Amino acid sequence: IMTRVAIIGSRGRMGQTLCRLAEEGPELELASAADQGDDLRAALAAADASIEFAHHSATKPTLELSLELQKPLVIGTTGHDEAELAAIREAATKLPIVFAPNYSVGVNTLFWLTRKAATILGSGFDREIVEMHHKMKVDAPSGTAKRLGEILAEVQGAPYDDVIQNGRAGETGARTPEEIGMHALRGGDVVGDHTVYFAGIGERIELTHRATSRETFAAGALRAAAWLTSQPAGLYSMQDVLGLKD
């Protein structure tokens, strides 16, 4: 069955890639595309599901219309504040939503591997995250890096905000065993690099994913949209789409 998709944020880098792949895909049809100033209601009404890659301020109006029209929604936007995150969680009680910091199959494998490695290695290894993106990215750290930090904090059994150390400067003192270092680099046209370091005494494990094309994210988001049309209301991740949940 052909899935008709609406692309919200269609003039952005990801939006343009999504539109192109949706037009080329044999199982998808690009029903509509919208960006700031366009008729969002008409765009959503024309589709079976929508995919949003826009500024985080666009998510709430997209959610409200998606609920009204009962159109499943894939959210790829990052940088939401707590109120916006709460709105997403509330909407998911009445609407199927996939909300993921990264739609790459490879990155979602990295999430899975990070959880496994953290569980196996335990507290004897210090954990640091380094991410790099293009110079135009407006939020830091990336949503993907935050999710990696959340996974490490979950395994550790600690709240994210209590253990994340965003960068270091000056006389910080010795590193504590509990902290998780988070470091954001920006420059050039880097699509997205993420490395999780597990540093022990006499050995180090590095888990790295490097994206060289936005197509990997777009393909995953389109896959999520097709999957979502047959799901009940709920808040899903790309781990659900790929069957990677433990």
- Backbone φ/ψ region at 193: left (φ over 0), alpha (ψ -120 to 50), beta: beta
Listed residue (203, 209, 60) closest to 144, CA to CA:
209
The pLDDT assigned to 27 comes to 83
Tokens found for residue 110:
């990295």
Q: State residue 206 phi and psi, 5-degree precision.
A: -125, 125
**Nearest one of 214, 242, 239, 227 to 49, comparing CA atoms:** 227
Residues of the chain with pLDDT under 70: 246
Any bridge partners for residue 182, and if so which? 129, 166
pLDDT of residue 245: 72
Let me know: does 72 contact 229? Beta carbons within 8 Å.
yes
Q: pTM to 2 decimals?
A: 0.78
- 160 HSE (CA, 13 A, CB side): 9
pLDDT for residue 246: 58
Catalytic residue annotation: 133, 137
Residue 148 DSSP one-character state = H
Cβ count within 10 A of residue 50: 28
Contact 36, 60 (CB under 8 A): no
User: Hey, what are 46's tokens?
Assistant: 């024309």
pLDDT value for 132: 98
Q: Give the three-state DSSP class for 172.
A: coil
Query: 49: part of which helix (H) or strand (E)?
Result: strand 49-52
